[in-house]
Amino acid sequence: MPEDRKMPNDALRLFFLAIEEVMGKDGMRAALHGAKLDKYIDNYPPKNLELGVSMSEYGLAEQAVEDFYGARGARAMLLRVGRALFNYGMKEQSTVLGLAGQALKLMPVPMTAKMKLLLEQMAAAGNKTVNQPVTLEEDADAFYLVYSVCMCQYRPKHQNPCCYITVGILMEGMKWLTDKNFAVQEVTCANLGAESCRFKIPKTPE
């Protein structure tokens, strides 16, 4: 396991709000207790960008949601949490997600150009705000967000890529931006020993 890494309070706060939206208040309390994060029960991190929380805490909370629903049911729930997280970030214009909001959505440029702009903002937010190094790559068919450090590195080993929160965030982000559904996939995952978590965002909708 890599050395723990700090992240901004607002990143964990938004994540907790999103979990609470999907699991309810009681479910959230149970998840935090299960993650041994009792100190956050009814006491979420403050809404600011100070590096006051850690990636391992985010990873533990994500794992607790997965454990709560079981390996089979967890995927759909984690995707929902990721989608809720995007929507909270958007509603609050949180710099954690690097969102420019309506201005970007209404820009008169082709769809893939808009997608690239949003993904560039999300990558910049990772690098500048979240303390999570990330690069954006592109080929003819898809964009790729590549995270060399990820919260999944602080979770138990999985059989399959497990960063469904990020997949959900990206699915919802693209949906919000284009009104279309994109089959976002995590193609390599650091939890399984890969060098990075690599998310593929196809340029063509489903």
Instruction: List residues near Zn ion by CB under 5 A.
Output: 150, 152, 163, 197
Smallest gap from residue 155 Cβ to Zn ion (A): 8
Looking at the Cβ atoms of 97 and 197, the one nearer to Zn ion is 197
Distances (CA, A) of 169 to 6, 34, 80: 21, 24, 9
Residues 6+ apart with CB under 8 A from 26: none
Looking at the Cβ atoms of 64 and 114, the one nearer to Zn ion is 64
Smallest gap from residue 59 Cβ to Zn ion (A): 9
Smallest gap from residue 186 Cβ to Zn ion (A): 7
Looking at the Cβ atoms of 20 and 186, the one nearer to Zn ion is 186
Looking at the Cβ atoms of 149 and 177, the one nearer to Zn ion is 149
Strand (E) positions, 92-184? 134-138, 142-147
Phi and psi at 59, nearest 5°, equal -65, -40
| Kind plus residue range of the DSSP H or E element containing 201 | strand 197-202
Buried residues in 179-205 as b, exposed as e (16+ CB within 10 A): eeebebebebbbbeeeebbbbbbeeee
Smallest gap from residue 194 Cβ to Zn ion (A): 9
Looking at the Cβ atoms of 117 and 136, the one nearer to Zn ion is 136
Smallest gap from residue 134 Cβ to Zn ion (A): 11
